[in-house]
Amino acid sequence: MIHLDANIILRALSKANEPAVKRMNHAAANLFRLAEQGVVEVTSSDAVIAEVAFILTAKAHYQLAVSEAAGRLTGLLQLRGVKLRNKGVVIRALEIWENNPKPGFVDALTASYAMQPGVELATFDSDFDQFSGIVRWQPPLQS
């Protein structure tokens, strides 16, 4: 199993003109081709996926539209050799984010986890009320 850092995922999802960066892009893309073929298994963490989502859409970096970033990430994560502990939750979070980009990917990921059966979301943030399937638990406020 190969654990992926954000820069490997970013290199696989982007294009470059600089020769050194092109070589990294090619190496990262090749790793994902091997994963797609089932030759290797790769994994990562929710934190890394969140970092990639942020960098792909950040004005200071790749400036992709949320729909483009979510689509690219979803395509990559659905490859056969990509194993995530909560792959379905992360992919659902990308769908939520694509349909509701304003709260950001981290809130979409939180919403996706909160939509699991038997889970209540403890938050003071009423923005989560827009997502169906979330039971919001708010601790009583002391006066």
pTM: 0.90
Instruction: Using pLDDT thresholds of 50, 70 and 90, give the confidence band for residue 22.
Output: very high
Torsion angle of C-alpha atoms 72, 76, 114, 61, degrees rounded to 10: -40
**Mean pLDDT of the residues in the chain:** 93
The pLDDT of residue 29: 96
Q: Which CATH class for the 2-137 domain?
A: alpha beta
Q: What percent of the chain has pLDDT over 70?
A: 100
Q: To which residue do tokens 């938050």 refer?
A: 123
Any idea what the Cα angle at residue 90 is, between residues 88 and 96, rounded to 5°? 105
Task: Render pLDDT for 51-80 as a digit per residue (tens, 0 to 9).
Answer: 999 999 998 889 999 999 999 999 999 999
DSSP E strands, the chain: 2-3, 42-43, 120-122, 135-137
Q: Taken in order 23, 25, 28, 30, is the CA torsion positive or negative? A: negative
Residue 3: pLDDT above 90? Answer: yes
Distance between CA 106 and CA 83 in Å, rounded? 20
Condensed to tens digits (0 to 9), the pLDDT of residues 78-137 reads: 999 999 999 999 999 999 999 998 889 999 999 999 999 999 999 988 889 888 899 988
Residues 6+ away with beta carbon under 8 Å from 18: none
